[in-house]
Amino acid sequence: MNDAQLAALFERIRMEPKLSEAMGDFRLTGWDAAQRIVSAAFTVRPEYCHSGGRVAQGGFITGWMDAAMAFAVMIETEGRQTVFSLEIKASFFEKVGPGAGRVQARVVRRGRRVAFLEAWLYNADGQLAAQASSTGMLVERHVEPGVRP
């Protein structure tokens, strides 16, 4: 896939604007085809944090990793499939506080109906702060008439 095709795919599968905004302006930033790793960025806002606005709540951290894993499926299938999470295991290593965040994800294995996924989330200091693995059910992406694919 060349750069123009990748940019068109990113546009086609991008997150709905209101959801992206609610998730700290979550956006795709890259695809390493050789390693099959998608990268995304977001902003950890103080309102996502507890402990006086200093530590991001684990559900938000898990949500960012889950979104990246879904995008890994969509990119790998060129937008034909997405994934519905059946289970997610998240491990938290370092504090994630307000500031820039980034996440990477990949498809470990994709069968006909099930995918196994991994994600790594980095805090504003660039430290690996959380890691996730997930099992998901693969589904075809269907678009309602009049709705952006």
Q: pLDDT tens digits, the chain, 149 residues: what are they?
A: 788 888 888 988 888 999 999 999 999 999 999 999 999 999 999 999 999 999 999 999 999 999 999 999 999 999 999 999 999 999 999 999 999 999 999 999 999 999 999 999 999 999 999 999 999 999 998 755 454 54
Residue 52 maps to a domain: yes
Beta-bridged to residue 133, according to DSSP, are: 89, 118
pLDDT reported for residue 3: 84
CATH value at residue 109: 3.10.129.10
Residue 145 maps to a domain: no
Residue 32 maps to a domain: yes
For 116-148, b/e burial (b = at least 16 CB within 10 A) is ebbbbbbbbeeeebbebbbebebeeeeeeeeee
Residue 146 maps to a domain: no
Residues 146, 20, 130, 105: is their CA dihedral positive or negative?
positive
Residue 8 maps to a domain: yes
User: pLDDT tens for residues 85-109?
Assistant: 999 999 999 999 999 999 999 999 9
Alpha carbons 135 and 110: distance in angstroms, whole number: 10
Residue 89 maps to a domain: yes
Residue 147 maps to a domain: no
Model-level pTM?
0.92
Instruction: Report how many domains make up the chain.
Output: 1
Residue 16 maps to a domain: yes
Write out the residue range of the structural domain in which residue 73 sits.
Answer: 3-140
